[in-house]
Amino acid sequence: MKSHRLPIVFITVLSLSAHIVSGGKVLVFPIDGSHWVNMNILIEALHAKGHTVDVIRSAGSWYIKESSPHYTSITREQGGGFDEDFLRALTTDLLRIQADGESSWKRLKVEMELMEKGVEMTQMEVDMLTAMLDDHQFMQFLKEAKYDLVLADPVSPIGPILAHYLSLPLVFNVRWTAHSEGHFAIAPSPLSYVPMPLFELTDKMSFLERVANVFFFAFYEFQAQFLIQPRFAALTNKYFGPDVNYFQLIQGADIWLMRVDFVFEFPRPTMPNVVYMGGFQCKPAKPVPQYLEDFVQSSGEHGVIIMSLGTLVSELPKRIVEEMAAAFAQLPQKVIMRYTGEKPSTLGNNTLLVEWLPQNDLLGHPKTRVFVAHGGTNGVQEAIYHGVPILGVPLMFDQPDNLSRMRAKGAAKVVDIFSVDRDGFLHALKEVLHELSFRENMQRLSRLHRDQPMKPLDRALFWIEFVMRHKGAAHLRTESYKMPWYSYHSVDVVMFLLAVTAMFVTASVFGIKFLCSRICKSKQE
């Protein structure tokens, strides 16, 4: 690793002399799975700019490799987050819950199960953190390393809590925080037009949708205040005293690098320390391997359909795959299907089953017509970048919500993978293939997304280095989160004004009564 660094620093100095931070030291607390894929892009870019990166990982880590040319790993038995076994079990669980849910009643049951799961995971994280903070040798090692900043994914509480412990500036690489959407944690979010995440609501809601939005918000607030916060309270109390609470540590991050932009997201209030880097991982397509190119070219004027359901889910219930393959088989298009499970019996001649595919390069291929996707943020951003309309088959997490955004913008159709049969799926496929509006809308989004004054990745790097140069970004961050809730919402002021008004009215009434009685008296006299 060392041998790589010198010449790269040299190039950077030449091209960006005004902004150079010579050899910063970054400590990273990532999340495993697809989130790591994103974090790794930032890490590679930081390394290319001459910074040293240390990454904390678990021994059982899944995607986060122990050795890399771009970072030095710090492996802990139980400490860098959940390991592969846990995450695989979690997704299987979630798939089952999701496949169950249909009626509102079941939906509520699903939410309850998810809530329980969340609380259980929180407890595991608290235990991990306690073990870490009590490992004095390890903490001493981190202190002596003299990092310039902590780069963390706020899905895990480890980054913010350790950054505070080490008194280091904190930059988030964020899609969600642990217990709510990132934006809700820091920017005022009027529930009338800012939809709560996860519920497929848009920025234009009917009255009943707005009622639901308020209800969901209350539900999550309840969860955060009464189920999550108390579990962290003992921890923050012990290590930081009673004045520091967990949510304040999250809200106190210097910079939030959001993995969305306003082509993807609905317009909404934001804060000066939020930097939008949605699509930062996107890049022009490279040529695909020859066997794929041959297959793609064989589609002729019909073009190809790409199907991929992301990193966490490798196998789907057999029935679903059979139905999808059967629908694909009836199309004149060629289909490239990423799937590692048993080969479906309905697989057509036009469908190529692959264990992995160069998603970005295929999405950028001129013959690609439709992207059949589960709706992870990365895939959706790549589809936007390349202007390929989506047929969405959401599975879990934020996927239904991501896809509902594309649907609202007319760039995607969404089907319920758990209930659709081959005819329904075929019908949806044909719609996205043949109704021009899907393609036109996605290409418009693509034009808007690409028309930025600066590449999203460069913007992200600028702000990470900014935080290193200035040891934070306090001037961009409000400290209003330190106010008690009744002050933040001006409840105390309103109560005061009401009290003053009441006193004034009471005094007036008594005054008038008193005067009247005097007048009456004097008349009687």
For its own copies, the binding residues (CB under 8 A) are 19, 187-193, 203-204, 207, 210-211, 214-215, 262-263, 266-273, 447-448, 451, 453-454, 458-459, 462-463, 466, 469-470, 475-480, 483, 487-490, 492-494, 496-497
Q: Which is nearer to its own copies, 88 or 444 (CB)?
A: 444
CA distances from 427 to 13, 433, 435, 467 (A): 56, 10, 12, 51
Q: Which is nearer to its own copies, 105 or 485 (CB)?
A: 485
- Which residue, 404, 331, 397, 399, is CA-closest to 370? 331
Q: Which is nearer to its own copies, 121 or 476 (CB)?
A: 476
What is the separation of C-alpha 410 from the centre of its chain, rounded to a whole number of angstroms? 22
Residue 483: CB minimum distance to its own copies, A = 6
Query: What is the rounded CA–CA span in Å between residue 412 and residue 434?
Result: 13
Answer yes or no: are the C-beta atoms of 255 and 42 closer than 8 Å: no
The two three-digit tokens of residue 256, written as one number: 């939030």
Query: What is the rounded CA–CA span in Å between residue 47 and residue 37?
Result: 15
- For residue 307, list its beta bridge partners: 337, 372
Q: Which is nearer to its own copies, 141 or 215 (CB)?
A: 215
Residue 495: CB minimum distance to its own copies, A = 11
Residue 199: CB minimum distance to its own copies, A = 15
CA distances from 432 to 182, 277, 280, 306, 327 (A): 32, 28, 26, 13, 14
Q: Which is nearer to its own copies, 102 or 492 (CB)?
A: 492
Cβ atoms within 10 Å, residue 343: 10
Q: 258-275 burial, b for 16+ CB within 10 Å, e for fewer?
A: bbbbebbbeebebeebbb
β pairing state of 52-58 and 25-29 = parallel
Residue 41: CB minimum distance to its own copies, A = 18
Q: Which is nearer to its own copies, 128 or 201 (CB)?
A: 201
Q: Which is nearer to its own copies, 183 or 338 (CB)?
A: 183
Answer yes or no: are the C-beta atoms of 299 and 433 closer than 8 Å: no
- Which residue, 216, 368, 215, is CA-closest to 292? 368
Residue 470: CB minimum distance to its own copies, A = 7
Residue 502: CB minimum distance to its own copies, A = 15
Residue 52: CB minimum distance to its own copies, A = 22
Residue 496: CB minimum distance to its own copies, A = 6
Q: Which is nearer to its own copies, 504 or 510 (CB)?
A: 504
What contacts 17, CB < 8 A, 6 or more positions away? none
- For residue 371, list its beta bridge partners: 306, 390
- What element of type H or E holds 398? none
Q: Which is nearer to its own copies, 55 or 171 (CB)?
A: 171
Query: What is the rounded CA–CA span in Å between residue 320 and residue 341?
Result: 12
Residue 220: CB minimum distance to its own copies, A = 16
Residue 461: CB minimum distance to its own copies, A = 9
Q: Which is nearer to its own copies, 214 or 505 (CB)?
A: 214
Query: What is the rounded CA–CA span in Å between residue 124 and residue 479?
Result: 30
- For residue 261, list its beta bridge partners: none
